[in-house]
Structure 1
Amino acid sequence: MASHLEPDSLPSPGEDGLAHSAALVARIEREIEAAGGWLPFSRYMELALYTPGLGYYSGGSVRFGRRPEDGSDFVTAPELTPLFARTVARPVADALTSSGTREVFEFGAGTGKLAAGLLETLDRWSVPVDRYTIVDLSGALREQQRQTIADRVPHLVDRVRWIDVLPEQFEGVAIGNEVLDAMPVRLHVRSENGWLERGVVAKSRGGEAIEVGSGATSAFAWDDRSTAHDDALLTLLDAIDADEGFVTESHEAARAFTRTLVEKLTRGVILLIDYGFPEREYYHPQRAEGTLMCHYRHRAHGDPFLYPGLQDITAHVDFTGIAQTGIDAGADLLGYMTQGRFLLNSGLADTLSDIDPRDTIAFLPAANAVQKLVSEAEMGELFKVVAFGKGVDPDAITAFVSGDRSHTL
């Protein structure tokens, strides 16, 4: 996690963006002061991403796209190609049929392209979907999702609803693509005398601001303190053969989200797609700087204090912890595998073959996108898929019949 970037290494967000970020900085500084001068990083990350009206995901700053010229910060699989949604529709159809349910829930629906693609494909296959429920906190994204769905499948838009929180109980198929990685994480650093928690202090309480690029200055700094670690977390951290200065994350928020989903699900399937590793790889001694990463205008860097509210902050997922949480909450683990294998098992190659290779204008971009989705050097190996079920046949989702890696968790 770099503390600063080279000057001018990132583009400036402009006056309006800087003003937006400054308002969020002031809000975070007030909370730090109210907390006695120090916040755990998990709370800083929560404020930077989700402060109403100002956070990256709740203030209208998030941008999905394919290149920095369109003002976007990163691209997700549904934005990369419509073939992703058409392919994921197969395991979703399997899950709906096996569970006998007729509703799909999507978390963090981005621009709505996954929703539109799933609705379109399931309708073409005559798979009954009475309702498609999107859980998203961003008002700006909700409008974009509504427009995307209305443009793609106008005859199905009336089946879509938006909610802020899940009901106490639900049944159906829940899907989250790149949701877990954006949930706040705690940071832990190995000191000479044991584990400390890495937190955030405001520089306005002393010290010089540090230039972080494009003339911007950081209002915050790291501060490591001794805080409470529960026994399970200490057992996990103490098992790492870590040298002094080793930094890693713990995923309390992602595990709580998974637990809540499983406990509320009465019948159906949960599909979670994200980048990450099983525990033995996640906490490997060589991963000494952790996995915290920021995205701004399609450039990845390690400074979460740069332009708060205008950049994404993420961490890779500990899939062992997620899988164990789901099982402990009462679900069956239906499968865990790489995204590449999952998509190929779900018929991605057949979906690509529907495009005439002689139509190079259509075929070449689609083939390039497929390569990015499944290649071990791209998204195919780093991204994983984990599935939980209740009241369904464990073998119902054909995507998990071969290539399952649950034994590695």
Structure 2
Amino acid sequence: MTTPPSLTSTLAAHIRGAIHAAGGWIAFDRFMTLALYTPGLGYYANDSRKFGWMPASGSDFVTAPELSPRFGQALARQVGQALQASGTREVWEFGAGSGALALQILEALPEIQRYTIVDLSGSLQARQRERLAAHADKVNWVSELPAQMTGVVVGNEVLDAMPVQLLARTDGAWYERGVAVVEEAFVWADQPTELRPPMEVEGEHDYLTEIHPQAQAFVATLADRLQAGAVFLLDYGFPEHEYYHPQRHMGTVMCHRGHLADADALQDVGEKDITAHVNFTGIALAGQDAGLQVLGYTSQARFLLNCGVLDGMEDVPLTERVMVQKLINEHEMGELFKVIGFVVDSAERPWSGWQGMGFAVGDRSHTL
């Protein structure tokens, strides 16, 4: 009996074909796209379980909405304030994962008239439909954005999954790092490039880092389509001066599987997540250049505290308190994760002088 090919071997063969068709080399952002999003095979496009608390569940990582419903309830307070200020009644969520955040926001904000999920994964859409069945009259799914849209956009851990380009400085010269094939195995391969990081990296030592054209293009597209409303993006990352610090010389690309992390993106394609930290300065500039106004930028801990995540905690079980602490503790998610907000400013609905509650205390916009 012939053993059927595994998901990894089938996806690897597909990527090798793409590399050969491109002349033997593809940039890392192309490799990352194929590894994560190839229909039916890529990590986010196959049927494997991604989200969960523990490895025993077969999951690879946990996101904030799975840790505690208080995450979504706190974010919902900011979303509700922005809906009222913008005069809109629709929420758009990108990369809704298990549907946990959507459920938390819908239950907290009955005034939402439509909740639109943008998610390319058919398997994740199926999980979301099951989880959100009680709100089927409000929820719909799309694979692309309309020419015009209004409402409040949310994205939790979306930017980090957008493909990045790798730049390597070796012996003082800059190269773009990509992927080639040697004896059927994927290997790193560098090519000379005119690309550079957005700021000079001090020193002469070898240095590996990322640039984020796809994430910045995503924000510019939101700015182009959003006619009224606001945007709230939550993810792990740094402002530019920290991102390209001379000591961060190994880059930030990481893989996640079974609640463990590794840095080898070329192994076991399709079976693990591939991510990179976010350059929030680049995200802010992309939004501003496209016409959005930065509402605020702060740590996840400060944002959630401003939005009342601890309200009523006196009467909740210890287990839930522990999970909330993971969301806000500095050594867990509280400091590594950041929140950036944008608004659409217009003569009909000016935002000048309006302050989002999530940024009322501890706004760090001046550090971007």
Structure 2 vs 1, CA of residues 242 and 60 (structure 1 numbering), >3 Å: closer, same or farther? Answer: farther
Match of 2:192 in 1: 226
From the two aligned structures, give the one with the greater helix fraction: 1
Match of 1:117 in 2: 104
Cα distance, 1:58 vs structure 2 = 1.3
Among candidates 80, 89, 109, match of residue 102 of structure 1: 89
Structure 1 position 146 matched with structure 2 position 112:
no
Q: Tell whether the 8 Å contact from 1:62 to 1:310 is kept in structure 2 after alignment.
A: no
Q: Find the aligned partners of 1:274 and 1:39 in 2 and give their Cα distance.
A: 27
Q: Tell whether the 8 Å contact from 2:61 to 2:257 is kept in structure 1 after alignment.
A: yes
Q: Which runs of 4+ in 1 moved over 4 A?
A: none
Cα distance, 1:242 vs structure 2 = 3.9
Matches within 5 A, 1:265-344: 265-344=226-305
Matches within 5 A, 1:46-65: 46-65=33-52
Match of 1:181 in 2: 160
Match of 2:220 in 1: 259
Match of 1:407 in 2: 366
Structure 1 position 379 matched with structure 2 position 333:
yes
Cα distance, 1:365 vs structure 2 = 1.5
Unaligned 5+ residue runs, structure 2? none
Q: Tell whether the 8 Å contact from 2:207 to 2:250 is kept in structure 1 after alignment.
A: yes
Q: Find the aligned partners of 2:169 and 2:289 in 1 and give their Cα distance.
A: 29
Q: Tell whether the 8 Å contact from 1:61 to 1:309 is kept in structure 2 after alignment.
A: no
One-letter code aligned to 2:88 = T
Q: Find the aligned partners of 1:49 and 1:278 in 2 and give their Cα distance.
A: 26
Match of 1:27 in 2: 14
Cα distance, 1:227 vs structure 2 = 2.6
Cα distance, 1:28 vs structure 2 = 0.3
Cα distance, 1:228 vs structure 2 = 3.8
Q: Tell whether the 8 Å contact from 2:19 to 2:181 is kept in structure 1 after alignment.
A: yes
3-state SS of the aligned residue for 1:268?
strand
One-letter code aligned to 1:372 = K
C-alpha offsets along residues 107-145 of structure 1, whole Å, 9 cap, x if unaligned? Answer: 00011010011000112xxxx211000000111111111
Q: Find the aligned partners of 2:360 and 2:254 in 1 and give their Cα distance.
A: 33
3-state SS of the aligned residue for 1:79?
helix
Q: Find the aligned partners of 1:193 and 1:324 in 2 and give their Cα distance.
A: 28
3-state SS of the aligned residue for 1:158?
coil
Tell me the number of residue pairs that the alignment of Structure 1 and Structure 2 aligns: 361
C-alpha offsets along residues 201-244 of structure 1, whole Å, 9 cap, x if unaligned? Answer: 11236xxxxxxxxxxxxx21101111342xxx45x35x101434
Among candidates 337, 343, 362, match of residue 389 of structure 1: 343
Match of 1:366 in 2: 320
Q: Find the aligned partners of 1:375 and 1:226 in 2 and give their Cα distance.
A: 42
Structure 1 position 172 matched with structure 2 position 151:
yes
Unaligned 5+ residue runs, structure 1? 1-14, 206-218, 358-362
Q: Find the aligned partners of 2:247 and 2:365 in 1 and give their Cα distance.
A: 23
Q: Find the aligned partners of 1:299 and 1:242 in 2 and give their Cα distance.
A: 32
Structure 2 vs 1, CA of residues 242 and 56 (structure 1 numbering), >3 Å: closer, same or farther? Answer: farther
TM normalised by structure 2 equals 0.95
TM normalised by structure 1 equals 0.86
Q: Find the aligned partners of 1:60 and 1:42 in 2 and give their Cα distance.
A: 23
One-letter code aligned to 1:178 = E
Q: Find the aligned partners of 1:387 and 1:190 in 2 and give their Cα distance.
A: 33
One-letter code aligned to 1:72 = S
Cα distance, 1:393 vs structure 2 = 2.4
Q: Tell whether the 8 Å contact from 1:275 to 1:383 is kept in structure 2 after alignment.
A: yes
Q: Find the aligned partners of 1:41 and 1:320 in 2 and give their Cα distance.
A: 22
Among candidates 138, 141, 159, match of residue 162 of structure 1: 141
Q: Tell whether the 8 Å contact from 1:109 to 1:135 is kept in structure 2 after alignment.
A: yes
Cα distance, 1:59 vs structure 2 = 1.9
Matches within 5 A, 1:59-74: 59-74=46-61
Cα distance, 1:60 vs structure 2 = 2.2
